[in-house]
Structure 1
Amino acid sequence: MSKDATLYSGDSHALFQLHPGLFAILLSDGMGQSKEAQHESRKLIHLMRECLNYNMNPETAMHTLHYVMSLKQQDDMYATLDFALVDLQHGDLWSWKAGGMSTYILRGKEVLKVESNAAPVGFLSISAVEAEKRKLKAGDVILMHSDGLFSSVDDWDEQEEVFLGYAQQVAGTTKTIQEKLTTIMQSFQSYYDIEDDCTVLMLEVTHVVPTWAVFRPVQHSMSNSS
């Protein structure tokens, strides 16, 4: 959702498959709520997709984005980037953040947090970008969000606790993922106002059992009588 229900948002995101079993998630938040902020975040997503499509190493891609964005002509324009790769075959989550918010992995009553202190893309010409790796299990719920989710007026930790509480309440239900996320956000907004462009991504990890074809040879008997 965008602030004041405008047609444009400073947030941009993309979810796509890089290779069979390898899924990419990109979330970028441009500075402010203007069309320029939308342009910055979309440009960052586009550049990252181009790097990944050319099989560039993720760390190299992140450094490349920092360098390219630092050469731009506009003053004081930058964007955060939250980038994750999900390896569905080995059950791994790799996360790279440049100013991005925490990623939450809900596992029953347990909450795993993936955080980073790296600067937003374009804020510094050279920035240390380190990957965080987490093991995934069937039933895990991954939540990623832009900073617009939490109000600057209310206590940050308190808002996070309330948001995660609502998420855990619906995570294990039989509702569709869209219904779950809608329920979470409606409940959360009944307590806190969303005062900025806001994007929340929710993904569920499920274990898929392949359907195997069963082959039973048919035995034939032949007799030869004279």
Structure 2
Amino acid sequence: MDTKRTKTRSTPGDWLKKQLVPRAYDRHILFEEIFARVAKIFRLDDLLRYLAQTMMDRLDLSSLTILVKHGSVFEVMRTAGNVNVSGVPFPVNSSAISHLRRNARPTILDKGRTDPWRMLATKDEVHALDRLHAQMLLPFVGRTGLVGFAALAQRGNRGFSLHDLYLFRELGRHVGLALEAAMTLEDLSRESAHRASANRELELAREVQERMFPQRIPAIPGATIAGRCVSAQAVGGDYYDIFLTVDGDICFALGDVSGKGISSALLMATLRASLRTLILDNDLSPTQLVFKLNRLIHEASAENRFATFAVFFYKPRSRSLTYVNAGHNPPLLLRGKEVIRLESGGPVLGLFPDCTYEQETIQIEPGDLLLVYSDGVTESINPAGDEWCEEGLIAAMRHRRKGATAVVEDVFKSLQVFAAGTPQPDDITLLAFEADGIGKRSQGALEVGQPLPIDLPEEIFLALE
């Protein structure tokens, strides 16, 4: 039986397949290239520049506007083509943004259609959408939600096929992830730069604060004195001072400002400056001085800020020590086996404008050791969470070397052994004053450490010999 070969006739559908399938394939490959490229761009400016150039040139667009979320609005970051919409923000609670966030897919803009979200839009929002001259809103969706969107139009106002909508949806997802990563990196870079700047400022503040502590210690006939402060942060609120007064007394003080950080350091600087200024008025008694100091601190600080404070005036010739304790931990006077707590004074500085204070004068005996300290010393903790307490401080005072500098070193060493590397929550400050035997004299120039360069009367020098 003879068979006849039948000739296949082409149809219009076959021609369309030959023409359209390769184009769809090529367009798919193009989008895949864009997907891969945006995943490798980590700088926000570079990413936006690439998107604007590539989408305009290779996707045959006539206009493009890219908006990115900044705080509570979506702002224009890039425009291309025949559009000029700089300064057109979309609030996060606007109807268009709410629709893109819920829908998370390309939205076709057709004035002939009555979409619910357009009906809910305000006049300003409708006007802003019209200025975009867009056929489509393409949401950029990241892991955290909507991070931006693009308003775009094709050349010749051609429509978008279902395949186009699929590809653009995938593009929105890839760009959303890339935008999210780039914005996070930019935020981290900005935060890092800000932190570096803040660290430089803190370092400068620390250097300034260190200069506020005594740089040179005045020599004291028959006694030694030394201090040390270790801040829990870059700057702190603890303060100590040692200097020679106008009438030849040795003034030393220790204060502890409430709180930590820059605010405490500023109040500490105010306390130091106020004390040294008031000392120039040698007609003030210690109680009068602390009374005025309290007023100044009250005026310079917030309602919840205060400072504990203890100030001492030592007369080398008479070996008498007068002090006022303004709410500070009682300084410890070790006299042989006896421990005397110096508590006379009044309330802390700064809480109330008018406070009364008492002063006390004691006679210093040979071998007396006075230790003034901030609460960071006795509240230091070990790995178990136990505090060093006053007992630990007194034990360290009993087992120390002679001389105020050695006392401070030995107490700090004992504290470090107890803490065993545990970070301490508060500033730690010590001020040690130790009396030698009668007739002994410390080495050094008497006049250093004065609050201001002044000439002392000759009889003061004779009295201090």
Please indicate, yes or no, whether the TM-score normalized by the shorter chain is above 0.5: yes
Q: Give the conservation status (yes or no) of the 8 Å contact 1:26–1:45.
A: no
**Residue in 1 aligned with 2:373?**
145
Among the aligned pairs, what percent are the same residue? 22
1-structure distance, mates of 2:389, 2:286: 32
Q: Give the conservation status (yes or no) of the 8 Å contact 1:21–1:89.
A: no
2-structure distance, mates of 1:134, 1:15: 19
Highest CA radius of gyration, 1 or 2? 2
Q: Give the conservation status (yes or no) of the 8 Å contact 2:345–2:359.
A: no
2-structure distance, mates of 1:151, 1:22: 32
Instruction: Say which SS state the counterpart of residue 241 (structure 2) adopts.
Output: strand
**Residue in 2 aligned with 1:122?**
350
**Residue in 2 aligned with 1:95?**
323
Q: Within 5 A, what are the aligned runs for 1:20-31?
A: 22-31=249-258
Q: Within 5 A, what are the aligned runs for 1:8-23?
A: 8-19=235-246, 22-23=249-250
1-structure distance, mates of 2:309, 2:295: 14
- Runs ≥4 in structure 1, deviation > 6 angstroms? 152-156
1-structure distance, mates of 2:276, 2:332: 23
Q: Give the conservation status (yes or no) of the 8 Å contact 2:255–2:310.
A: yes
Instruction: Note closer, same or farther for the CA distance 1:210–1:81 as it changes in structure 2 (3 Å cut).
Output: closer
2-structure distance, mates of 1:178, 1:100: 23
Q: Give the conservation status (yes or no) of the 8 Å contact 2:234–2:261.
A: no
**Residue in 1 aligned with 2:312?**
84
**Residue in 1 aligned with 2:336?**
108
Q: Give the conservation status (yes or no) of the 8 Å contact 1:28–1:45.
A: no
- 1:168 and 2:398 correspond: yes
Residue 209 of structure 1 and its aligned partner are, at CA, apart by: 2.6
Code of the residue aligned with 2:326 in structure 1: it is A
Deviations 1:8-30 (A, max 9, x none): 12111110111565210111111
Q: Give the conservation status (yes or no) of the 8 Å contact 2:314–2:321.
A: yes
Residue 121 of structure 1 and its aligned partner are, at CA, apart by: 0.8
Residue 71 of structure 1 and its aligned partner are, at CA, apart by: 2.5
Code of the residue aligned with 2:316 in structure 1: it is L
Code of the residue aligned with 2:266 in structure 1: it is H
- 1:198 and 2:428 correspond: yes
- 1:182 and 2:409 correspond: yes
Code of the residue aligned with 2:275 in structure 1: it is M
2-structure distance, mates of 1:163, 1:65: 29
2-structure distance, mates of 1:149, 1:184: 10
Code of the residue aligned with 1:167 in structure 2: it is M
Instruction: Say which SS state the counterpart of residue 353 (structure 2) adopts.
Output: coil
- How large is the Cα RMSD of the aligned pairs? 2.5
Residue 94 of structure 1 and its aligned partner are, at CA, apart by: 1.0
Q: Give the conservation status (yes or no) of the 8 Å contact 2:303–2:351.
A: no
Q: Give the conservation status (yes or no) of the 8 Å contact 2:274–2:296.
A: no
- 1:2 and 2:231 correspond: yes
Instruction: Note closer, same or farther for the CA distance 1:17–1:58 as it changes in structure 2 (3 Å cut).
Output: same
Instruction: Say which SS state the counterpart of residue 130 (structure 1) adopts.
Output: coil
Residue 93 of structure 1 and its aligned partner are, at CA, apart by: 1.4
**Residue in 2 aligned with 1:217?**
none
Code of the residue aligned with 2:417 in structure 1: it is S
Q: Give the conservation status (yes or no) of the 8 Å contact 1:27–1:81.
A: yes
Give structure 1 stretches of 5+ with no counterpart: 212-226
Instruction: Note closer, same or farther for the CA distance 1:27–1:152 as it changes in structure 2 (3 Å cut).
Output: same
Residue 129 of structure 1 and its aligned partner are, at CA, apart by: 0.8
Give structure 2 stretches of 5+ with no counterpart: 1-229, 442-465
Q: Which has the higher helix share?
A: 2
**Residue in 2 aligned with 1:74?**
302
Number of equivalences: 205
2-structure distance, mates of 1:116, 1:58: 12
Q: Give the conservation status (yes or no) of the 8 Å contact 2:331–2:341.
A: yes
Q: Which has the higher contact order (CA 8 A, sep 6+)?
A: 1
Q: Give the conservation status (yes or no) of the 8 Å contact 1:28–1:42.
A: no
2-structure distance, mates of 1:50, 1:84: 16
